[in-house]
Amino acid sequence: GYKTLLVDLDSQRNATNTMLPPSEISTTLADVLVGDTNRQPIENAIYETPLDNLDLIPSHIRLAKIERFIEIEEQFRLK
C-alpha cells in the first residue's frame, strides 16, 4: 500500500522498458542529471506505471556516458 518511486539508474533500461512504452517517455533521468543548461526538474521525469502506487523515473542510454564527462557538482544532483 506504500507509494513507491522506482529510479532506473541502469543505462540498459530494463525497468524502464518493462514498465513503460518508449513512446510515452519524453523526459528521462539523463535529462535531469546531465548538463548545466536545459536540465529538467526531476518532477518532469516521474511517470505513473500500470501498477498501483508505483511511479518510475526512466533511464536513458546517455547515462552510460555520464562517468566519462561528469563534473563534480553533477555527482550530487540525484542526492
Helix (H) or strand (E) holding 52, with range, is: none
Question: pLDDT tens across 6-47, in order?
Answer: 999 888 899 999 999 999 999 999 888 876 678 889 999 999
Average pLDDT rounded to a whole number, residues 51-67: 86
pLDDT tier, 1 (very low <50, low <70, confident <90, very high otherwise): confident
- Contact between 25 and 17 under an 8 Å Cβ cutoff? The reply is no
Model pTM greater than 0.85? no
